[in-house]
Every structure is written in structure tokens, then in C-alpha cells.
Amino acid sequence: MFLLMVEMNWDYVTVIYSEDKLGHESLKIYDRLSTRYFVCSAEKRPVSFDNQALGDIKTRGVVYLGSDNLGKACHL
């Protein structure tokens, strides 16, 4: 994933993660690897089924970390 982000010049991204164990654990791994690949997280937002206000993201890329069901429900 990070190699693709570097290739696409996504060095400043918004991270969206689910408010469950998978989302939180994925965020920990992402944070560790992002420093290795020089990817800055402009913002980190938890998202749930009732929180779909994602329209104000201003970064070049968005990284979603979490369950497939929540990603589909939030149109990610």
C-alpha cells in the first residue's frame, strides 16, 4: 500500500478508520509504517455507520482502514 502511495505522490493524506478493533489495530500499523515511507497524515478520522460527513477532506488521497461492511456503507 505504501509503495503505491509513494508512486502516486500521496505524501499528505487523510486516514479514515473504523471504530472497531480492526480499525484501531490497522491504524497502529499504519502509523508505524507511514514514518518509514515519509507519508504524513494530515488528519485521522474515526468513522461509524452514523458518521458519514466526509465531504470536507482536502488532501490528495484518503486511506481507509477498517471493515469492508463499514466501507461499503459509507461509500468509501
| Predicted local confidence at residue 5, as pLDDT | 85
d(C-alpha 43, C-alpha 34), whole Å: 13
pLDDT in tens, 16-59: 888 888 889 999 999 999 999 888 888 898 876 655 556 677 77
**Beta strands of 1-76 (E only): which ranges?**
12-18, 40-47, 61-65
Considering only CA atoms, which of 22, 24, 76 is closest in space to residue 49?
Answer: 76
Task: Evaluate whether residue 16 is within a structural domain.
Answer: yes
Residue 34 corresponds to which cell in the numbers above? 507511514
| Predicted local confidence at residue 70, as pLDDT | 56
Kind and range of the H or E run holding 46: strand 40-47
Task: Evaluate whether residue 15 is within a structural domain.
Answer: yes
Task: Evaluate whether residue 3 is within a structural domain.
Answer: no
Task: Evaluate whether residue 20 is within a structural domain.
Answer: yes
Q: Is the pTM here over 0.75, yes or no? A: no
Task: Evaluate whether residue 1 is within a structural domain.
Answer: no
Task: Evaluate whether residue 2 is within a structural domain.
Answer: no
Domain limits at 52? 9-57+65-73
Structural domain total, the chain: 1
